[in-house]
Amino acid sequence: MTKRGLHIRNLEYMITTSCDLACPGCDRFIDHGHAFVEKFEDIVSNMEQWFKRLDPDHVTIIGGEPLLHPRIYDILTEARRIFDHAVIEVYTNAFLLPKRPKIFNVLKKIGNAKVSCSLHNKNPKYRDIVERNLHQAFYSKGKWFETSPNTHTCDTVVLEVTDPTQGGWYDYRKEVDGVLKPWNDNDPTSSYKNCGVNIYPIIYKNKLYKCPPISMVRTHLTKNFMLEDKDWQPYLKYEGLDPDVDEKELEKFVKNIYEPHSICAMCPANPVLKPQEEAVVKNVKI
Ligand code: SF4
């Protein structure tokens, strides 16, 4: 019998930091133009290594925009093979669905799958495009049943649409003189309690991080020549775990998913929830 790793609820897998949108205040700094696409072979090898250490109920393939990856069908298929009993989810803004016409077939084939579509524009012209794309890619291709508000199911595929332009969005960093800074509210317990992504550990470049925002701190600061910025130093000390991390460290990590960490001080202790500002849409003319 295959040895499974430590049980966790969710595991995100960031296969690209490139995106066709730029959403102001993206939790992973994606709106600041970080172009990275992980090689398919590396993704598979990394998943195989992590499967021996972690046993997630839910694996989310995320970006950036994951549909940008030229091997997205194969990635979803391999995710199913490796994480054999997890829900396999792909998180998309839906603009690129016409370029991935087999996505529904792939998801039906792998089964126990989910598409999460997030809307990032209020502009009705962009919303029409997304609606049309969802119709062509999914709703027109099967019998869908509404299973909860904004969620439909067809066979073993779930499609959920969320809309941060209606509210619930907040700034994980503050902007000071045009530069992104940590909040440093010195109340990690409140920051964690009020956090919207606190139970989503993520793998980025084969390292495991507590949450999406911390995974991209070094990448963002490196690109912007900010590695010496004193406000960011406490968070730069945080390092993601390698798949060969010893068992005790990994157990400690898993326990801490559901608890605050000192790095939570970088996030706001009392976030102001607001509607997401209009995303910049890079490759669509309206
Ligand atoms: S550092 Fe803590 S509060 Fe900030 S996003 Fe991660 S889990 Fe949430």
Entry field: residues in the chain: 286
Whether 233 is in a domain gets the answer: no
**CA-proximal residue: ligand 1, atom 5 (nearest):** 213
Whether 110 is in a domain gets the answer: yes
Q: Which long-range contacts (CB under 8 A, 24 or more apart) does 102-108 make?
A: 102/73, 103/67, 103/72, 103/73, 103/137, 104/137, 104/138, 104/141, 104/142, 104/157, 106/73, 106/76, 106/77, 107/76, 107/157, 108/142, 108/154, 108/155, 108/156, 108/157
Residues of the chain with pLDDT under 50: none
Closest atom of ligand 1 relative to the 198 alpha carbon: 7
Give me the pLDDT at residue 2, please. 64
User: What tens digit of pLDDT does each residue of 171-189 get?
Assistant: 999 999 999 999 999 999 9
Whether 39 is in a domain gets the answer: yes
Whether 141 is in a domain gets the answer: yes
19 within 8 A of 63, measured Cβ to Cβ: yes
Whether 154 is in a domain gets the answer: yes
Q: Give the strand pairing for 21-22 and 6-14.
A: unpaired
98: domain range?
6-169+198-228+238-260+277-281
CATH code of 42's domain: 3.20.20
How many structural domains is the chain composed of?
Answer: 1
Give me the pLDDT at residue 173, please. 96
Give me the pLDDT at residue 1, please. 59
**CA-proximal residue: ligand 1, atom 2 (nearest):** 264
Distance 213 CA to ligand 1 centre (A): 7
Give me the pLDDT at residue 44, please. 98
Is 195 a pocket residue for ligand 1 (Cβ < 6 Å)?
yes
- C-alpha span between 215 and 236 (Å, rounded): 10
Is 192 a pocket residue for ligand 1 (Cβ < 6 Å)?
yes
Closest atom of ligand 1 relative to the 267 alpha carbon: 4
Whether 179 is in a domain gets the answer: no
> Best substitution site from 189, 211, 232 to test ligand 1's pocket, by max atoms within 8 Å of Cβ?
211
Distance 165 CA to ligand 1 centre (A): 21
- Give Cβ neighbours of residue 181 (< 8 Å, ≥ 6 apart): 173, 174, 175, 229, 231, 232
User: What tens digit of pLDDT does each residue of 153-172 get?
Assistant: 999 999 999 999 999 999 99
Residue 203 token pair: 């793998």
Whether 269 is in a domain gets the answer: no
Whether 286 is in a domain gets the answer: no
72-82 vs 40-51: helix crossing angle, rounded to 10: 10
